[in-house]
Amino acid sequence: MNVYHRPLRATGHCRHYSFDRRAGEPTCALGMDLGAPGASRSCWPDPEKLRNPPRQCPLRSEYTAEERAAWEDWISARLVRLGNAVAALPAPLPIGCVGHLDCPNCGGTLRWGRWHGGASVRCETADCAEARFNVARGADWPLTGKGADR
């Protein structure tokens, strides 16, 4: 079974920056105060290109080109795995049902669910493939996959 190793999330932001979703606010790993309105702008990608460039943070540190390339590769590979997972599903999925099959990416268990207005796929292998989809009411989903006519 395949195992996936998520690399450092190397974005265009300063490497000390993160967004605390629970608190709903940006944070700095080095403790810079980002609480004031607009204070996190110097953490953003290319802050000097903003319309009103913020004062440069003296602690700003960029991810390396190698780290950023590894993260981009990870994002691309994850999208491919998600596409493989969706293509392996019965098509269209019956509404109001859940099911599972062998994951085409890793050989683990790929679980799916389908309800009015949406669907989900999630492989039990960490970082393999996982997504939720909004699906228009009355529409079939997925349109292509195992069992589809086209």
- Indicate the residue among 14 and 121 with the shorter CB distance to Zn ion: 121
Nearest-5° Cα angle at 11, 5 to 17: 105
Alpha-carbon Rg for the chain in angstroms: 20
User: What is the DSSP-derived secondary structure letter of residue 35?
Assistant: -
Kindly tell me which of 7 and 54 has the beta carbon lying closer to Zn ion.
Answer: 7
Q: In the bound complex, what is the minimum distance in angstroms from residue 139's beta carbon to Zn ion?
A: 26
- 57 vs 123 by CB, closer to Zn ion: 123
CB of 86 to Zn ion, least distance (A): 12
Binding interface with Zn ion (CB under 5 A): 103, 105-106, 108, 123, 125, 128
Q: What are phi and psi of 99, to 5 degrees?
A: -170, 180
Distance from C-alpha of 41 to C-alpha of 50, rounded to nearest angstrom: 9
Q: Which residues pair with 133 in a beta bridge?
A: 119
